[in-house]
Amino acid sequence: MSAYYTIAVDVMGGDFGPRITIPATIDALKRYPHLSVKLVGHQEAITPLLTQLSSEVACRLDVVHAAETISMCAKPSLTIRNGQESSMFKSLQLVADKQAQACVSAGNTGALMVLGRYILRTLPNVDRPAITSTVPTTDGHCHMLDLGANVDCSAEHLLQFAIMGSVMVQAVDGIAEPRVGLLNIGEEEVKGNEQVKLASRLIEEKGGLNYIGYIEGDDLYKGKADVVVCDGFVGNIALKSSEGLARLISHKFQSSFKKGLYRRVLALLASPILSEIKQQLDPSRRNGASLLGLQGIVIKSHGAANEQCFGYALDQAVAEVEQNLPSKICDEIEHKLA
C-alpha cells in the first residue's frame, strides 16, 4: 500500500526521547495504512529501536539524522541560531520543504513556537500562532486557545484566535457551527478589561461566527462553548490552576483512603471507579496541542507523555493532515479579515 501523507516526528524531544516516541510512531504506522513517517533524530539512538519490523511498516519509515537535541531548558530565542542541527529544527524544515505534511514534537514548547514561526511562517493575515488544546467538559470537551504562546494579546489577536479555533473544531470535530466563547470575569457586557471588551465587539462584528459572548472560568468545564478564546497568559494560568486543584483533590483522596484498614479496603474496592474517572479527566488522554496559524501543521506533545499519549499526538497530526487544516484556516481568515 502506498502512503498518502508524511509526518515528521522529532523523536528526540520529551522526557523519554526515542524509547517512547519510536514505539508510538511504529504503532501509528500500523493504525494508519496511508501514513509514512520521517523519524528525525540521532541515527545511533534510532537504529537499535527499529528491529523486527514488518516490511509493510518498514517501507513507510525513513530516518533523518540530526546530530543535536534542543534541551527542555534551552532559551527559545537562541534556538534559531544554535538549533539548526537539532531534531526539532530539521523536523520543522521537512514541513517547510513539503517533504512532510506535519511535525510532531514532545520537546521544548517555547523553542517549538519560536522555530515553528521562524521556519514555517504564519499564514497571511495571522499575526501570531496560538497553542490550542482540549479541556474536558461535562459531556465531552472544548478547545481552548491561546494556552501560552502569546502573553500579551491585542483584541485583533483574540479575533484571529476565535476564527482559527472555530475552523479547527469544524474540521476536526465535525461541528458545523461551533459555539465560540470569550473568557472573562463576568458574563455582563460591562465586565472585563479593555482588551476583552474590544475583542468581544470585534468578534461580533467581524468574526461571522456562532459567538455566544463571555464565559466565566467556571463555565469552562460546563460545556457551554466548543471554542474558548483567551490570551496566552490567562489561558495558561486557568489550565494550570485547574490541574493544580485536581492534583490537590487526588492527594486528599489518597491520604484520606489510607487512614486505617477499613478505608484501605474501601479504596481497593473503589479503585476501578476512581481510575475510570481519572481516565475521563486525564490531560494526557487529550495529548496533542496544535500550533494554529502557521503555514504547516505542528503538534506539541506533553514532554512527559508515555507511548500511548504520544500516540494521541500523532492521531491529532493525522486528523489535521486529513482535513488540510492550515489551508482551511487560511481561506477563512482571508475571507473574513483580508
* Contact positions vs a copy of itself (CB under 8 A): 75, 136-138, 148, 151-152, 183, 185, 190-194, 196, 216-222, 230, 232-234, 236-249, 251-253, 256-257, 263, 266, 269-270, 273, 276-277, 280-281
Residues 6+ apart with CB under 8 A from 100: 6, 7, 8, 38, 91, 94
How many of the other CB atoms lie within 10 Å of CB of 172?
17
Closest CA to 224 of 140, 325, 334, 99: 140
Please state the closest distance from residue 93 (CB atom) to a copy of itself, in A: 26
In DSSP terms, 292 is beta-bridged to 130
Positive or negative, the CA dihedral 187, 191, 196, 200 is positive
Please state the closest distance from residue 125 (CB atom) to a copy of itself, in A: 24
Closest CA to 36 of 9, 8, 10, 3: 3
Please state the closest distance from residue 112 (CB atom) to a copy of itself, in A: 15
Please state the closest distance from residue 75 (CB atom) to a copy of itself, in A: 7
Please state the closest distance from residue 174 (CB atom) to a copy of itself, in A: 24
**CB closer to a copy of itself out of 19 and 251:** 251
In DSSP terms, 145 is beta-bridged to 132, 229
Please state the closest distance from residue 313 (CB atom) to a copy of itself, in A: 21
Q: Distance between CA atoms of 279 and 157, rounded to whole angstroms?
A: 34
**CB closer to a copy of itself out of 2 and 138:** 138
**CB closer to a copy of itself out of 54 and 241:** 241
Q: Distance between CA atoms of 84 and 315, rounded to whole angstroms?
A: 27
Please state the closest distance from residue 224 (CB atom) to a copy of itself, in A: 10
**CB closer to a copy of itself out of 125 and 242:** 242
**CB closer to a copy of itself out of 21 and 109:** 109
Q: Where are the alpha helices (DSSP H) in 3-128?
A: 18-31, 43-46, 55-58, 79-82, 87-96, 109-120
**CB closer to a copy of itself out of 149 and 329:** 149
**CB closer to a copy of itself out of 183 and 209:** 183
**C-alpha distances in Å from residue 228, one per residue of 15, 37, 134, 161, 181:** 29, 32, 10, 9, 5
